[in-house]
Structure 1
Amino acid sequence: MLQELSIENFAIIEKLTTSFESGMTVLTGETGAGKSIIIDAVGLLTGGRGSVDFIRQGTPKCWLEGQFEVNQTPELSELLESLAIENPDNVLIVSREITTAGKNTCRVNGRLVNTTQLREIGRFLVDIQGQNEHQALLQSDQHLGMLDQFGGKELLIIKTKYQELFASYQTLLRQVRNKQANEKEFAQRMDMLTFQSAEIAEADLKVGEEDSLIEERQRLNNFHQIVSALNTTYSALSDGEPSALDSIGSAMSEMSEIENLDSEYSELSETVKSSYYQLQEAANQASRLVDSLEVDEDRINQVESRLDVIRQMKRKYGESEEAILAYWESIDLELKEGAQANLSGEELTQALAEKEAELRLVAEELSVIRRQVATRLESEILEELAGLYLEKALFEVRFTEVADFTVDGLETVEFYLTTNPGEPLKPLVKVASGGELSRILLALKAIFVKTQHITSIVFDEVDTGVSGRVAQGIANKIYQVSAGSQVLCISHLPQVAAMADCHLYISKEVVAGRTKTGLTQLSKEERVMEIARMLAGEEITELTKEHAKELLSLAHK
């Protein structure tokens, strides 16, 4: 669920921070106060398209931040792990900043992500259903996905099996076509890749080897200079009568005699002692290094030869050891696929035929399960629509077989509907009015909320175009959805506002010639006045207030 939202310099909102609760929260207010702007902000936090147009006039940037409590599903866990995002408390803090220069910065739990990655995460956080969001219902290519989602785990298992087989089938099909198209070119490429793989394998590259060899070559080529410098250092410190160390040792002895007489003498004595011991260690280290050095002309030649091999590999296969090894891995994968493709044309065709037969069996099994799921979906949607005063409606999931295998199977799906008795079923896109689409959307959400694992659902004026008992039916249905997921709802309907667990009022005022937006959680008495305003408009009478109280009382029951 969305726990907290902070907004700065976004559209007409200068600064706003608010907390949200579980259950159903309604947002109401006068036109132009910024209700939909708040939903736009939530949309940006879940990967919506950003624009400098969102920045409040006269400010350099806008900033948004939301705190979400998430359901830790395996799919979400895998996604977060792939992005190295930690969330041990099942909480994600998402922030986004857009500057007038066009810079767009997104973070999740402090880690930078791009908008594509944010959109992937956002699928698990918030589902925003606006006045135009029901357009997905009007795209028949979305209907199969909705049906499969409703099918749950049983259908997902068989669909995953089908898609794995489909991927193998596609690979074999490409191999057959490639082989038939140009067997000679294929053989030449396999020969080239075999040679390249053997050459890289023989080079036996190690990541970081070139840098290590360059350092070693530097030491070997400067052997005499290094030995001379170390010998000179040792002699300067230890040779001679007295040596430098002897002289410093005498100074150290002299200072130790007077160090107790004054703090300054003590400090100087410590400095001399420290210098003596450090120089003594330096002399010993110089001696050890000289003893360990040994010129090796053969090793110099070996290093140069090895560096030459690495340079040749980089010239042919990549700019670094990592790039070369990555290329090696990719050509080895192609060679493995090529080994299968290297079968005779007859063998390869036979393998394809066997895979196609296996795929068809699973596709038919998937179709059977889908039809069972479709029957169940039809029944549940009709039940939900009855609660929205579309009890005369008929809803049907229709299947159309396709000639070739697709990633989704051997059929397409389209939803058909009629809301008028005696009228034939027609594609949903052609028969549903705006108000009917809103109700169908709610019916679907009431069903799918159990399987989507989304923490929050936002309804942005989806109740447009309805009134009376239908409005009450929509209010009941939105509340039903909130039992399975947090719901934030922008509405102009008093029936919807009365059903909410929490009522937020969005207001606006003009300060110094600029519009400012504010947000307040209404008390019980304030809710009565707001719902009365929604019922009557500007003039609120005692009768209107009584009507508002009655709505709240009925909603409470």
Structure 2
Amino acid sequence: MLTELAIRNFAIIDQLTITFQDGLTVLSGETGAGKSIIIDSIQLLAGGRSSVDFVRHGEEKAEIEGLFLIDSDNHPIHEVGNQYGVETRDNEIVLNRVITASGKSICRVNGKLVTLAILKEFGRTLIDIHSQHETQSLMIPENHIELLDLYNRDQIEQAKEEYLTLFQKLQSLRNRYKELNENEKEMAQRLDLLEFQLNELEKANLVPNEDIELENERKQLLNYERIFRGITEAYNALYGEEKGLELLHIAQKALEENSSFDPFIAKKSEEITNHFYMIEDLTYQLSNYMDGLEFDPNRLNEIEGRLAEIDRLKKKYGTTVSEMIEYMGKIEEEIELINNKESHLQKIMNEIEEVKQDAFLEAKQLHDLRKKAAKALIEEVHVELKDLYLEKSTFSIEFSPETPSEHVELHKNGFDQIRFLISTNLGEPLKEISKVASGGELSRIMLVLKKLFAKHQGVTSVIFDEVDTGVSGRVAQAIAEKIFQISKESQVLCITHLPQVAAMADTHLLIEKDEINNRTLTHVSVLTETEQINELSRMMTGTKLTNTAKEHAKELLDLAESFKKGQLINN
């Protein structure tokens, strides 16, 4: 859930920190007090589009920061975090968005800089905002298939993974076929290029690790004098009269002559004898290496020329000789592929047909599971619509194609194209949800779907921005009850002008604005029961508070409390 929101220099908000609770939080206040501005700030945290107009006049930047608490180790936010390298193990997510007066947007998740697209990925798993002015995921037909899959997640997810494995393999084969089946002119040009490259590399007669060995030999020749002098000095220090080896021999004899008298001397005598022979062997090696040292300027020139040739090839074919030899192998394979294009095309086509058939069978399994889920969802929606006095409405889920065959076009979700349809009046045809004309009907339909999908979508916070516009009376009460039911599955933040909805609040926040030093400021306060009664009275009658309105407000709160207790007993 969203537990804390900090806003600085955003629109008419100077500095504001709001602590949110679980359950249903209602935000109310006069028009223009800043209620929707608070929702706008949350929307920006979720990756919404920014504007320099959001920056408070006279300030350099606006900043919004939100702390979210995750109550499940299986929440999809963890998968998103793993994908983008953001730590989420403490089940705390901090989203941060800065908008500068110049229009620059800076996004962070748990302190890590991210792109706006990545911030949006995190936001969509945490927040679901619905307003009367904005198209939301439930209203977009392209999203309906994902929502239906969530409704029967346990069964569909595994089948979907198995299908996706085959679909990705199918796409890879199709891409290979397309690349190989390019027009003759391009293929001929490609073949000429590959043959030229292969010929150039073959003429070079490259040997594995040749560049490394040549660099070492070059370094040796360039430092010949220092190497020779160093070996000579070491050899002379060890070999000869009164030199290291002779002195070591004297020490060895001295210990050997007395080894029978003392175990310690015997042990050390053996050790020094071993060291003597090792140093003696080292001296012979130094002598032999010194005898073989020879400075050959011609060889140095050869190495320089060969390394220059290798460096020239590296600029075209790889950073090392090994990489260039590997590239030669790939060229040979591609040349063979082009020269025998027809046989390879036929082989790939055969693979495509086999994989497509397997993918179709998996897609058919997905289709059957979705059909079963759709039937159950339709039944639940009809029950919920009756509670909202839309008992004459008809909800349906359209599958396209209706009768799939093996020749149907496959996509990432199988072959199904799905749309949620509804008719709100008897005798009227089914239409897409987004095309339902009545705002009040649209609000109720949306609430039904929100309630059914809240627990499946996994979002921590559902936000309603005046979605109850256009309703009143018993419908308003029914909407209030539905919003409360949604808050049992996810935290709900709700801006409303309906007293019925406000009365259902677990926490009621009042948004007000003041004018200080000729500037408008917004502040938020948590209402006590008495203050809530006054606010509900104002929502009923306007600015004038009457005793009758207060009595009605108190009665409304009592009815809401009774409903809540009934819900608790039923659950």
How many residues end up aligned between the 2 structures? 488
- What does residue 425 of structure 2 align with? 420
Residues 89-488 of structure 1 aligned to structure 2 (within 5 Å) = 89-134=90-135, 136-182=137-183, 186=187, 189=190, 304=304, 308=308, 311-317=311-317, 343-401=343-401, 403-488=408-493
Query: C-alpha distance in 2, partners of 1:165/1:16?
Result: 51
Query: C-alpha distance in 1, partners of 2:16/2:469?
Result: 27
The amino acid that maps onto 2:131 is G
Residues 411, 110 of structure 1: CA spacing in aligned structure 2 closer, same or farther, 3 A cutoff?
A: closer
**C-alpha RMSD of the superposition:** 4.0
CA contact (8 A) 1:397 1:416 kept: yes
Query: How far off is 1:305 after superposition?
Result: 6.8
Query: C-alpha distance in 1, partners of 2:30/2:464?
Result: 17
- What does residue 19 of structure 1 align with? 19
- What does residue 548 of structure 2 align with? 543
Query: How far off is 1:221 after superposition?
Result: 5.2
Query: C-alpha distance in 2, partners of 1:512/1:456?
Result: 36
Query: C-alpha distance in 2, partners of 1:337/1:542?
Result: 93
CA contact (8 A) 1:378 1:397 kept: yes
Query: How far off is 1:410 after superposition?
Result: 2.4
Query: C-alpha distance in 2, partners of 1:25/1:60?
Result: 32
Query: How far off is 1:176 after superposition?
Result: 3.7
CA contact (8 A) 2:77 2:126 kept: no
> Are 1:65 and 2:65 an aligned pair?
yes
Query: How far off is 1:355 after superposition?
Result: 2.1
The amino acid that maps onto 2:88 is N
In the alignment, structure 2 segments of 5+ residues that lack a partner are 230-285, 563-571
The amino acid that maps onto 2:355 is K
Query: C-alpha distance in 1, partners of 2:216/2:62?
Result: 50
SS of structure 2 residue aligned to 1:92: strand
Query: C-alpha distance in 2, partners of 1:105/1:296?
Result: 64
SS of structure 1 residue aligned to 2:416: strand
Structure 1 residues 527-536 or 191-200, which shifts more? 191-200
Deviation digits for residues 265-296 of structure 1, max 9, x if unmatched? xxxxxxxxxxxxxxxxxxxxxxxxxx9xx998
Residues 330, 110 of structure 1: CA spacing in aligned structure 2 closer, same or farther, 3 A cutoff?
A: farther
Query: C-alpha distance in 2, partners of 1:397/1:500?
Result: 33
Query: C-alpha distance in 2, partners of 1:415/1:140?
Result: 7
Deviation digits for residues 21-51 of structure 1, max 9, x if unmatched? 1111111111111111111111111211222
Residues 354, 25 of structure 1: CA spacing in aligned structure 2 closer, same or farther, 3 A cutoff?
A: same
Query: C-alpha distance in 1, partners of 2:217/2:527?
Result: 75
CA contact (8 A) 2:148 2:374 kept: yes
Query: C-alpha distance in 2, partners of 1:305/1:74?
Result: 62
CA contact (8 A) 1:176 1:341 kept: no
Query: C-alpha distance in 1, partners of 2:353/2:492?
Result: 51
TM-score for both structures, normalised by structure 2 = 0.75
Query: How far off is 1:141 after superposition?
Result: 2.8
CA contact (8 A) 1:178 1:186 kept: no
SS of structure 2 residue aligned to 1:405: coil
Deviation digits for residues 73-93 of structure 1, max 9, x if unmatched? 374323323333223311012
SS of structure 2 residue aligned to 1:98: strand
Query: How far off is 1:465 after superposition?
Result: 1.0
CA contact (8 A) 2:68 2:92 kept: yes
The amino acid that maps onto 1:556 is E
SS of structure 1 residue aligned to 2:545: coil
Residues 161, 126 of structure 1: CA spacing in aligned structure 2 closer, same or farther, 3 A cutoff?
A: same
SS of structure 2 residue aligned to 1:26: strand
- What does residue 281 of structure 2 align with? none
Residues 370, 204 of structure 1: CA spacing in aligned structure 2 closer, same or farther, 3 A cutoff?
A: farther
Query: How far off is 1:122 after superposition?
Result: 1.0
CA contact (8 A) 1:341 1:348 kept: no
Query: C-alpha distance in 2, partners of 1:122/1:538?
Result: 38
CA contact (8 A) 2:125 2:460 kept: yes
CA contact (8 A) 2:129 2:136 kept: no
TM-score for both structures, normalised by structure 1 = 0.77
Residues 525, 302 of structure 1: CA spacing in aligned structure 2 closer, same or farther, 3 A cutoff?
A: farther
Query: C-alpha distance in 2, partners of 1:125/1:352?
Result: 39
- What does residue 83 of structure 2 align with? 82
CA contact (8 A) 2:224 2:295 kept: no
Query: C-alpha distance in 2, partners of 1:216/1:18?
Result: 71
In the alignment, structure 1 segments of 5+ residues that lack a partner are 229-290
The amino acid that maps onto 2:552 is H
Query: How far off is 1:158 after superposition?
Result: 1.8
Residues 192, 90 of structure 1: CA spacing in aligned structure 2 closer, same or farther, 3 A cutoff?
A: farther
Query: C-alpha distance in 2, partners of 1:499/1:336?
Result: 73
Residues 509, 363 of structure 1: CA spacing in aligned structure 2 closer, same or farther, 3 A cutoff?
A: same
CA contact (8 A) 1:67 1:94 kept: yes
Residues 108, 517 of structure 1: CA spacing in aligned structure 2 closer, same or farther, 3 A cutoff?
A: same
Query: How far off is 1:222 after superposition?
Result: 7.3
The amino acid that maps onto 1:426 is K
SS of structure 2 residue aligned to 1:124: helix
SS of structure 1 residue aligned to 2:399: strand
Query: How far off is 1:383 after superposition?
Result: 1.5
Residues 176, 420 of structure 1: CA spacing in aligned structure 2 closer, same or farther, 3 A cutoff?
A: same
- What does residue 50 of structure 1 align with? 50
The amino acid that maps onto 2:385 is L
Query: How far off is 1:527 after superposition?
Result: 0.7
Deviation digits for residues 398-445 of structure 1, max 9, x if unmatched? 212174223332232222212223334334344441111111111111
The amino acid that maps onto 1:115 is L
Residues 180, 114 of structure 1: CA spacing in aligned structure 2 closer, same or farther, 3 A cutoff?
A: closer
Query: How far off is 1:464 after superposition?
Result: 1.1
Query: C-alpha distance in 1, partners of 2:133/2:226?
Result: 78
> Are 1:493 and 2:494 an aligned pair?
no
CA contact (8 A) 1:175 1:341 kept: no
CA contact (8 A) 2:191 2:335 kept: no
Residues 176, 476 of structure 1: CA spacing in aligned structure 2 closer, same or farther, 3 A cutoff?
A: same
Structure 1 residues 500-509 or 174-183, which shifts more? 174-183
CA contact (8 A) 1:194 1:335 kept: no
Residues 520, 328 of structure 1: CA spacing in aligned structure 2 closer, same or farther, 3 A cutoff?
A: farther
Query: How far off is 1:66 after superposition?
Result: 1.1
Residues 365, 84 of structure 1: CA spacing in aligned structure 2 closer, same or farther, 3 A cutoff?
A: closer
Residues 508, 356 of structure 1: CA spacing in aligned structure 2 closer, same or farther, 3 A cutoff?
A: same
Query: C-alpha distance in 2, partners of 1:336/1:27?
Result: 69
SS of structure 2 residue aligned to 1:5: strand
Query: How far off is 1:342 after superposition?
Result: 7.6
Query: C-alpha distance in 1, partners of 2:355/2:302?
Result: 53
Query: How far off is 1:467 after superposition?
Result: 0.9
CA contact (8 A) 1:190 1:338 kept: no
Query: C-alpha distance in 1, partners of 2:360/2:224?
Result: 73
Residues 123, 137 of structure 1: CA spacing in aligned structure 2 closer, same or farther, 3 A cutoff?
A: closer
Query: C-alpha distance in 2, partners of 1:337/1:548?
Result: 84
The amino acid that maps onto 1:101 is S
Query: C-alpha distance in 2, partners of 1:479/1:329?
Result: 68
